[in-house]
Every structure is written in structure tokens, then in C-alpha cells.
Amino acid sequence: MKLLVLGGTVFLGRHLVEAALARGHEVTLFNRGRHNPDLFPECEKLRGDRDGGLEALRGRRWDAVVDTSGHVPRLVRDSAELLADAVEHYTFVSTLAAYADFPAVPGIDESRPLAAPEDPFAEEVDFRTLGPLKALCERAAAAALPGRVLAVRAGLLAGPHDPTDRFTYWPRRVARGGEVLAPAGPWLRVQLVDARDLAAWIVRMAEARHTGAFNATGPARPLTLGELLDTCRAESGSDARFAWMDERSLLRAGVGRRMELPLWMPGAPGAAAADCRRALAEGLAFRPLADTVRDTRAWDASRPADAKRRAGLDPVREAELLDALRAVPAEAVPSEAVPAGA
């Protein structure tokens, strides 16, 4: 298969190119060349800009394209329209946040309505606008290539080369050992997918020309934060001890959800409860969690010590929160912090 990848050098895109090459496909990358330009010397590299710089794509043909870098509907529309007669199949990497009621509603499946931005012409991408803009991007691709688009609504991605550090924080912090502040309780649900598993699945779906929308997260069975942290401890061999701080106390202390304390999303019951049965039925599979933890920690250890980590508690901040937790008598922890049956 001749595969065009829009992006292809950062995280999921990088793993996607590796998966495609491993399956013997001929891969062309289209990007600006700003991130990891020396990767994949065996691939054809077309330079350009999605905002008015698509000339390198004109007059060419590929069997399929995977769009890993589309966030602005206008730019996705431009590339999809240009490629409509040049490819048989278009995969657009979207997000679970594209749903109108995510993450407020658990069990969201592909039949739920998509979000609509407050301003349909807005193009600034941030945590608040990402989902609605991705929903419009999906529609733009589908309008340009009716019946030929696969929309992959991905959940939290984990694994090596993650620029967000949301998952990486936990293997790194647990490996450091000692008392580790953890949110809510060990029963807290977690959903994630190793980017390498998602990439391999996307390549297979493109090969088979599958279309439609798929929630793409995991694992196949329910996972708790307690299990994840225990796996991190077992893989690192550290002496980590987990101090669980109830959500009310974390909120009172002003702890930032999602990034300052990764995988913690209070008031968002659907954040780790999306329905991914449709993707599972089409072969989405997951490597052992221990492999993801081990490989992520090894990659993180290879980074420069002074490299900026984008997510996770600062050690001083964590120590202050642990001191505050020790000062609270056990009987003072609100009962609603622990769900019935936990």
C-alpha cells in the first residue's frame, strides 16, 4: 500500500509510520519538517504547510492517507478536498472529546451526537475547543470524501515519545519511590491505549478500507489507577507507597486536574468509561500494561534530565500536599470520597 501520512514524526504519527513500514508499506510524509526531521530516511518526505502550502501534494496518488495533524476544520477541508481524487481512503485521527456530552456521560458509544463549537469559525485550539474543532474536522473530511473516511476517536494515549507526559508521569514518579500522592482512591477507573497498539490497528484498518467512526481506547477490561500504580511499582522495583488523597481535599488545595495530577478528572464520570466495543470487534488489541510502563519509563530515562516535563506534580508541591494529608485524621476523610462497594 502506498500510504500518505499528514504529520508522522510526533508520538502517534511516529508510531504509525513505524507500523506501516513494518508491514511493508511505501510511506510518504507530508509536514513542515520542524519536528524530528531526520526520522525515517527511508521514506519520501514532502515539505509544506497545511495552511496554504499544499502544493507538494498536487498531482500525486496514494492508496490511503492518515491525517494525524488535523485540528482546524478549514485546513482539514483543504487537504481532504485536494486529496479526494488522489486517494481511496482517508483516516482522520479524532478524539473522544468530539462528543457533545464527553466526559460528563459514561458509556459513550459512536451513536452519540458530536459537539459544536461556540464559534464555528474559531481556529484557536486549546483544551476547551479541541473536541468541538475535531468534530468539525471529521465532518469536513466526510464531506470531501463521502463514504471513504475512517474517524478514529482516540482516548488517552500512552507509551514512548508522548509529548504530553500525562501517562509518563506515573512510571517516572513511582520509580523514584517513597510516598507517592495519588488521587481519589485505588478504585479510580482509568482508560488508555498504547500509541503503538493504536497505530498498528489504524494501519490494518486502512489496509481493509474500513470506514465510519470508532472509539479507540482501552484496555479491553476495566483498569483501575491502583492496578496501574502497582504495575509501575512492580516494573521499577521501587519502594513506592501510595497515599490516597480524597477529591474534596485535592480540589480545596487547588490541585489541577488532568495535567498537574494526571489521570484525575473529578466531575467527569465519562472520562474513563467510553464504550470501545466496536473497535475491539474490529481487532483493536492491547499489549500488557507492564510492557507499556516499562518501555515508557525507559524512553523517559533517555531524555535529558533538564528536559521540560509538561505534566505531573512538582516535588515540592507534592510534599506540601502529603504533609496536609498526614495532618487530617483518618475519620475526617469524607465518606463520599470512597464509592459504595469499593
CATH 3.90.25-classified regions of the chain: 169-190+220-272+289-334
Beta-strand relationship, 223-224 and 261-262: unpaired
- Nearest by Cα to 219 from 272, 265, 181: 272
- Nearest by Cα to 162 from 310, 332, 327, 325: 310
3-state SS, residue 203: helix
C-alpha cell at 294: 516499562
Give residue-wise pLDDT tens across range 105-146. 999 999 999 999 988 888 999 989 999 999 999 999 999 999
pLDDT computed for residue 12 by the predictor: 98
pLDDT computed for residue 311 by the predictor: 96
Name every residue whose Cβ is closer than 8 Å to that of residue 119 and which is 6 or more positions away in sequence.
none
- On whether the CB atoms of residues 107 and 270 are closer than 8 A, the answer is yes
Give residue-wise pLDDT tens across range 50-106. 999 999 999 999 999 999 999 999 999 999 999 999 999 999 999 999 999 999 999
CATH 3.40.50.720-classified regions of the chain: 2-159+193-216
Kindly tell me if the per-residue pLDDT of 338 is higher than 60. no
CATH topology for 2-159+193-216 is Rossmann fold (3.40.50)
C-alpha cell at 133: 474543532
Please give the CATH number for the structural domain made up of 169-190+220-272+289-334: 3.90.25
Kindly tell me if the per-residue pLDDT of 336 is higher than 50. no
Give residue-wise pLDDT tens across range 211-245. 999 999 999 999 999 999 999 999 999 999 999 99
Q: Per-residue pLDDT averaged across 317-331, rounded?
A: 83
Buried b (16+ CB within 10 A) or exposed e, 179-201: ebbbbbbeebbbbbbbbbbbbbb
pLDDT computed for residue 122 by the predictor: 86
pLDDT computed for residue 340 by the predictor: 32
pLDDT computed for residue 326 by the predictor: 86
- On whether the CB atoms of residues 64 and 97 are closer than 8 A, the answer is no
- Name the H helices within the chain: 12-22, 73-83, 130-144, 169-176, 195-207, 225-236, 247-252, 277-281, 289-302, 315-326
C-alpha cell at 232: 509501575
Q: How far apart are CA 164 and CA 40, in angstroms?
A: 23
Kindly tell me if the per-residue pLDDT of 163 is higher than 70. yes
Q: How far apart are CA 42 and CA 25, in angstroms?
A: 11
Q: How far apart are CA 185 and CA 339, in angstroms?
A: 9
Q: What is the pTM of this model?
A: 0.94
- Nearest by Cα to 46 from 3, 10, 77, 78: 3
| Average pLDDT along the chain | 94
**Quick count: other Cβ atoms within 10 Å of Cβ 139?**
17
pLDDT tier at 329 (50, 70, 90 boundaries)? low
pLDDT tier at 263 (50, 70, 90 boundaries)? very high
